A and B are shown apart, each in its own frame.
Chain A
Amino acid sequence: MKNKSEKQAKSVSPLPGERTTPGDDHRENGGGEKEKPYSPFKDFVKKFSKQKMALIAFFAIAIIIVVAILAPIIVPFDPTVDVLSQYSQEDQDQLGDNRINIGYQWVLSDGSVVEATRVPMVDSGNRRVVNARGSADSITATAVNEGETFVAVSHENVTNYLRIVVTQSQFYRPILTAVEVTPGKDYFAPGEEITLEIKGHLSDGEVLEDRSEIARVIEEMEELQGSQDTTGGRIVGQQVETVEEGVLGIIFGNMDEEILTIEEDGRIIAAQEGVGTVQVSLGGLSTVVQIPVGPTALGQAEPIVTAFQFQETEAQLVDLYKHQPPSTLHFFGTDHQNRDIFSRVLVGTRQTLTIGFVSVILGALLGTTLGLIAGYYGGRIDSLLTRASDVLLAFPGVLLAIAVIAILGPGIINIIFAVAVFTVPIFLRIVRSSAMSVKNMTYVEAAKSIGVKDYVIIFRHILPGTLSVIIVYLTMRIGTAIIIGAVLSYLGLGGDITAPEWGAMLNAAKDNSRNVFHPTLFPGLAIVMTVLAFNLLGDGLRDALDPKLKD
């Protein structure tokens, strides 16, 4: 910009068609300062420095350019990769876990604990909060959203719960994780009513023996049920006829109808000798109990699985998988793929500015050349070029750019080209009109009269006269070009959709804009501020260079 202004300053003093060397320029310039004549450049600097907004914009742009150049070095996180894999151990400790593997073993009816040989069925009480599944050696629980839920682990007729809290919870009480049922006696006689002792195990390790307390905990746990269907509705393992007992809502399922009978009121009666098995379900939890009938049945029973023994029955997780809010770790938060938005915005500056500068400079070069030719020669060339530019100007800018992308295919180079294409007619038109007025100046006439070649006249005598207009438009158009570039990549025409590009970031974030504000806010702000800076700078330049341009 500075250089161009200098050029303009030189050109005001008419130089006859002699070809001057750069050395000459310099000498002449130096000479001019000694005599302190009117210097248009100094005049411009003086006028420009009076405009505070433009000055701020100028520095803002300088910073943006520096950021663009240094972005890959100064970003705290890799903008293309999930931040989870980039945390230091320290960060990780501070944040907490987002996943836990809980080992499990089987508890058999004889009290022994053995390694499980089959993978249990695992389901989360609310998959909006926690997602869980079982594998050969552990239960994996993954945090999804803030809240609390239980994870149901089932094997055949046994179901136990795990309590999982994600980030923080409204429900802060321990939950019932298992029911333990033991026969009231060593063995029962046929015809005798069977008594069962029921204990409830809480997630904090406490054991409840009082039935009314168990009932209270179960009632409270209803709050935890998500709106989703869970294993509650699914029948796991052997299907048995069930009878519900009135008081606690315990459901008994008779698995050996020959040995035991269950009355409708929930009483269990021993029918004949042998080992009977009963499934006991309570609030979604269930277990089985073996009931020996007759003295011969003692020790006869094959041990069966009655419960799970977990490494832990409670776990605290954090939901870090996406949309982390702005924090000291992530200034702008993270996006839907958990990438650091601050890093992405900074790195995106480079591509945005590249699109803005390269496309406008390309368009300006071509447009200015054509405009000078049209303005200088006039006649048929002029009308041909003017009509062509009118055709291009008839399209709205974005539409034209989309048409170009449709032909060339998506990609950043094609975006640059597309933006350049619709910049051409704007420069053509503006340069043409100012070339036409400069053309009638006497110094041009003078140059012509001594036989200076056309291209020399165009570039040495006419171009400098149009420079101020070109500079102003150049600055203004960069803002527009950045917007069009962002629009195109917003529309998914930018090629790589994973690239850290402001428009593409907005596009990816728009679906969640109802729930989270930061993924759309920051790229949007970046666009607004950059474009605003270029426009303010353009305004300032216009006022400083040529107040007459202000229509």
Chain B
Amino acid sequence: MKKKKMLLFVLLLVTMLVFVSACSDVEDPVDEENGEETEGTDDPVEEEEEGEDESGMIEAGDEIVVALEAEPTSLDPFNSTDGVSTSVQKTMFEGLLRFDENLDIVPYLSESYEYNDDATELRFTLREGINFHDGTEFNAEVVKANFDFVLDEDNGLARRSFFNFIEEVEVADEFEIIIHASEPNASMASYLAHPTAGMKSLDELEKKMEDPDYNLDRNAIGTGPFRYVEWLDGQHVVVEKNEDYWDQDHMAQVESIRFTSVQEASTRVNQLKTGEVHFVDTLPTGEADSLMDEEYVNVFSGPSMNVFYIGMNLQEEKYQDENVRRAMNHGVDKDQLIAQVVDGFGRVADSPIAPPVYGYSPQAVYEYDIDGALDLMAEAGMEDGFEATLWTRNSTEFTAIAEFVAMQLREIGIEVDVQAYESGTLFDMLDNNDGTDLWIGRWSPGTGEADWGLRPNFASDRVPPNYNNSGFYINEEVDQLLNDALENPNEEERLELYHQAQEIIYQDAPWVFLHVVDAVAAQRTEVGGIYIMQDGSVDMNGVHFINQ
């Protein structure tokens, strides 16, 4: 009787399903029509916008609108660690060096640079005739003041530890500067090419030193092709063309750029479709397909340096046996993860660092093997499995991975409880070791080389609260290899040392190595000149309209 009722209930649902799917079938062509209609009317809409805005300060059509996934945390390159802030800062700040599209280091505010023989000094010849947005001159004194400022512990800047390889900055001449490292360091140039090393005006630094309440996060005075206009909380950051830019060949080609923060990914996609924004980064991979069919949208993807992993707290007894850690690596089907969670936009992580990173060396992947994993668990005396708590950020991208991993680990006997937190909260919890167990992490070495890919995550002296080694992985051999590599100016030997370090780490399995995602972004076809750097930040200094 009851079964019959249940059947009836199911039947009712199925009928509704048929009804609804029938409806959706009918609606499909209508949708397409609508799509075409909006596409067809795109141009008039933009013209209208132009008309409206002519009364305003900026002529429409000269403004690029970019939808970012979050609001920047700061406009001070020394005081932010996230890719979103970096993307905005890059339009206004420039460093002595920079990475080009191929991740090669090229001079920026400097003419040239050279190491001394034992890689303890880096000598720069600075470019002359460059002025900051406030009119002050760029010279060696400014560079020194900048580095002294970021290194001063009292200023409490987020990127201080990034620069702690610098012992002293010496002004050799008005346009000559020497960076002294505390230890031999052949990666100095990579660090200084990172967007974090952007130079800001001496006046601003002095204002900050005179008045500690002066907010450098909101006062961005650099040398870049765009200058800061305004930052409205929760709305946008606007930068405008710097008419006095030093490099005439690379003048900004648009009047202004407006960075809006749109957290909901589907909203970003819709805005792009309607032409409300011109560029969207970090596109949900599931949306990429439907966007590819849009006539006025270009979707592009490329390799990134973002490695996803599950970190584990090695202080916990359950993870101390390397067999358990390897079992967990064998227990997660990375191919399925890539097909299912990132829609194919990724590769299996075969090293703790991603392929584009300098010094990367691929290892033999932990193949998906449940039986092998169960054997390893048994070998470690963990036949009955154990319980674990997996922390994740609460964005869709991360929770989907966490859900997937939790399901997979359950099959080798690990009962995983997934807890989602807002990213800031999660970092605090990891940095304070607030009962860390398992967590989903993502790491991208902004410097593009192996040292920043490995040291923060695996060096013994980077355990909380010092940096990112939240799993307390302690291996003196790795420490030694990393230090040797950093001090070794011979390229081949360095690569060999990094190869060894990656081999040991991959064998030791302090992480469950998951995947390297591709960066997926989309732009309107009427704009060009935007690059996604492999560290995930966006370079839009060369952005321009194609049809105008």
A contact residues vs B (CB 8 Å cutoff): 59-60, 62-64, 66-67, 70, 74, 80-82, 84-85, 98-99, 124, 127-131, 133, 135-136, 140, 142-145, 227-229, 319, 321-322, 326, 331-332, 336-339, 492, 495-498, 508, 510-515, 517, 521-522, 525, 529
Contact = CB atoms under 8 A, between A and B. Distances in A.
Interface in B1-60: 2, 5-6, 8-10, 13-14, 16-17, 20-21, 24
B364 interface: yes
Contacts of B17: 326, 332, 521-522
Contact of A66 (B6, B286, B343): B6
Which of B287, B335, B365 has the most chain A CB atoms closer than 10 A to its own CB?
Answer: B335
Interface string B258-285: 0000000110010000000000000010
A172 to B, nearest CB: 21
Interface in B410-440: 410-411, 417-420
A321 B339 contact: yes
A129 B292 contact: no
A131 B265 contact: no
B6 A74 contact: yes
A496 B344 contact: no
A74 B396 CA distance: 31
A428 B341 CA distance: 48
Given A63-B9, A227-B299, A331-B10, 5 more contacts: A140-B335, A326-B17, A496-B417, A510-B266, A511-B286
Given A144-B339, A511-B286, A521-B17, A496 B418 contact: yes
A133 B348 contact: yes
A336 B289 CA distance: 16
Contact of B411 (A85, A140, A498, A521): A85
Contact of A67 (B9, B345, B348): B9
B400 A336 contact: yes
Contacts of B396: 511
B302 interface: yes
Contacts of A492: 394, 420
Contact of B336 (A70, A81, A142): A142
A515 B302 CA distance: 23
A190 to B, nearest CB: 38
B303 to A, nearest CB: 9
Interface in B324-352: 335-336, 338-341, 343-348
B403 A497 contact: yes
A515 B16 contact: no
Contact of B407 (A82, A145, A319, A495): A82
B302 A229 contact: yes
26 contacts: A63-B2, A66-B5, A74-B6, A80-B407, A81-B410, A84-B336, A127-B344, A128-B344, A130-B344, A131-B346, A143-B339, A227-B292, A227-B300, A332-B17, A496-B417, A496-B418, A497-B399, A497-B402, A497-B403, A508-B399, A510-B266, A511-B266, A513-B266, A515-B289, A517-B20, A529-B13
B357 interface: no
Contact of B340 (A62, A66, A337, A508): A337
Interface in B341-382: 341, 343-348, 364-365, 367
A337 B9 contact: no
A514 B13 contact: no
B418 A60 contact: no
A322 B403 CA distance: 13
A81 B407 CA distance: 6
A135 B364 contact: yes
Given A496-B417, A514-B287, A321 B340 contact: yes
B9 A60 contact: yes
B367 A135 contact: yes
A525 B300 CA distance: 37
Contacts of A522: 13, 17
B406 interface: yes
Contact of A497 (B290, B300, B345, B420): B420
A140 B16 CA distance: 41
A62 B284 CA distance: 42
A135 B366 CA distance: 10
A525 B16 contact: yes
Given A66-B6, A129-B344, A511 B394 contact: no
Secondary structure of the A contact surface, majority rule: loop
Interface string B304-319: 0000000000000000
Contacts of A517: 20-21, 24
Contacts of A130: 344
Contacts of A74: 6
B514 interface: no
A136 B362 CA distance: 12
Closest 6 CB pairs of A and B: A144-B344, A127-B344, A321-B340, A142-B335, A144-B339, A321-B339
Nearest to A121: B362
B301 interface: yes
B2 A66 contact: yes
B336 A321 contact: yes
A10 to B, nearest CB: 32
Contact of B339 (A135, A142, A510, A525): A142
Contacts of B300: 227
A127 B345 contact: yes
B5 A63 contact: yes
Contacts of B8: 63
Given A63-B6, A321-B340, A337 B367 contact: no
A467 B417 CA distance: 43
Contacts of B417: 496
Contacts of B269: 514
B467 interface: no
Contacts of A80: 407, 410
B400 A337 contact: yes
A30 to B, nearest CB: 30
Contacts of A228: 301
B147 to A, nearest CB: 38
A512 B286 contact: yes
A300 B36 CA distance: 65
A514 B339 CA distance: 19
B288 interface: yes
A529 B17 CA distance: 13
A228 B2 CA distance: 54
A511 B339 contact: no
Given A131-B335, A133-B348, A514-B266, A337 B407 contact: yes
A50 to B, nearest CB: 22
Nearest to A511: B396
Nearest to B343: A144
B404 interface: yes
A511 B284 contact: yes
A152 to B, nearest CB: 14
Nearest to B404: A337
A338 B404 CA distance: 9
Nearest to A528: B16
B344 A135 contact: no
A270 B418 CA distance: 68
Nearest to A339: B407
Contacts of B348: 133
A510 B266 CA distance: 9
A499 to B, nearest CB: 9
Contacts of A81: 407, 410-411
A143 B347 CA distance: 14
Nearest to A144: B344
A322 B2 CA distance: 32
A247 B328 CA distance: 55
A128 B288 contact: yes
A402 to B, nearest CB: 15
Given A511-B265, A514-B266, A514-B287, A498 B9 contact: no
A522 B13 CA distance: 8
Nearest to A336: B400
A498 B418 contact: yes
Contacts of B336: 84, 142, 321
Given A228-B301, A498-B418, A514-B287, A133 B347 contact: yes
